[in-house]
Amino acid sequence: MRFLRMALAHARIAARQRALWAASAALCLLSLAVMVNGNMPYESGDVIDLAFFAQMLAMLPPVAYAAACVDLASSPVRLGIGEVEEAAPVAPAVLAAARVAGALAVVLLPSLALLLCCGFGQLAHGNFLGPLQALVMFALVVAPAALLAAAFSAFAGAALPRAFARFASVAAWLAALALTSFVGVPTPGGGMRFEIASDPALQTLFGLPPVLNENAAWAAVPASPLAAFASVAGRVAIAVALLAAAGSLSRARGGRR
């Protein structure tokens, strides 16, 4: 209960940053636009369309989180409020978790709303598990991606001046996407074309083809359940490590001032 109250206060702080909302909502709509190919993602009633949308939501809106969350770990130290929070009977890790949970709850709201809308749309088109599947996709793919992007941002914000940190964290996010979500597909002419590889959890649980371009799906081996688990756990673990490092770095820099 106490954790929820702390998270709520931090959600309120994040909710009042209009730029955060605007960027997040705009990129969610862009994700929708990217995948709409004549039809909306729910009109077929096919879960693969929903999974494709979830993948877009895990790739594009985090660019906004990467740019916007640079203050996540450093602002308490910068404002001096970190000292007061440290003097309270709350474990620093719990407080940091509440801060991240509160901020993410706000920035993820547009993604969750759109995904759920599509889930309910699928329900209307015969996929009775649509809303539940949307929630699972959100929890396993969209939320961990947002957490990771926010962690990149928080770490960059703790290590670099704010303006540089925004560029650095967006660049880091795009580099991470390039390294993990693109797969080279040989072309008949002997060259190589890069296609978007689908998320292992979406492949395993919802049958999304390994490469999002159906015509190139033959080019990659489907992910195993173990790979799906490793993908989710790995993202969360990296994010937690980055957030912990960002917290330590911010405190150390604050102590030196």
Partner 1 sequence: MFISLEHLGKDFRKKPRALDDLTLDLPSGMIGLVGPNGAGKTTLMRILCGIAAPTRGRVLADGHDLSDARTRRALKRTLGYLPQDIEPYPNLTPLEFLEYMGVLKGMDDARERRRQAGELLERVGLSDVSRRRIGGFSGGMRRRVGIAQALMGDPRLLVVDEPTAGLDPEERMRFRALLASLGGERTVILSTHILDDVAQTCPYVCVLRGGRLCYDGAVAGLVNAARGRTWVTPPLPAPPAGAVVANAAATPEGTRYRVVADVPPAGAQPAEPTLEDGYLALVAR
Closer to partner 1 by CB, 19 or 226: give it. Answer: 19
Which residues in this chain contact partner 1 in the complex, by CB under 8 A? 1-2, 5-6, 9, 12-13, 16-17, 79-81, 83-90, 95
Question: In the complex, what is the shortest distance from the CB of residue 163 to partner 1, in angstroms, rounded to a whole number?
Answer: 19
Nearer to partner 1, 78 or 125 (CB): 78
Instruction: Report the C-alpha gap between 244 and 155 in whole angstroms.
Output: 9
3-state helix, strand, coil in the chain (%, to 5): 75, 5, 20
d(CA 255, CA 257): 6
Q: Which long-range contacts (CB under 8 A, 24 or more apart) does 198-201 make?
A: 198/51, 198/52, 198/55, 199/54, 199/55, 199/58, 199/141, 199/231, 200/224, 200/227, 200/228, 200/230, 200/231, 201/140, 201/141, 201/228, 201/231, 201/232
User: Nearest approach, Cβ of 26 to partner 1 (angstroms)?
Assistant: 21
Q: Closest approach of Cβ 98 to partner 1, in Å?
A: 9
CB 240 within 8 A of CB 227: no
- DSSP strand pairing (192-196 vs 182-186): antiparallel
Q: Which is nearer to partner 1, 63 or 103 (CB)?
A: 103
Nearest to 212 by CA among 56, 6, 101, 87: 56
- Output the six-digit token pair for 93: 């890790």
The token pair that represents 131 in the structure block = 């809303």
Alpha helices, DSSP H, located in 126-224: 130-137, 143-159, 162-181, 200-206
Cβ 19 to partner 1 shortest distance, Å: 12
Nearer to partner 1, 190 or 257 (CB): 257
Closest approach, Cβ 133 to partner 1, in A, equals 35
Residue among 81 and 178 whose Cβ is closer to partner 1: 81
Least CB distance from residue 113 to partner 1, whole Å? Answer: 22
Nearer to partner 1, 37 or 256 (CB): 256
Cα 139 to Cα 147: distance, rounded to the nearest angstrom? 11
Q: Residues 61, 27: contact at Cβ < 8 Å?
A: yes
Nearest-approach distance from CB 61 to partner 1, in angstroms: 22
Nearer to partner 1, 40 or 90 (CB): 90
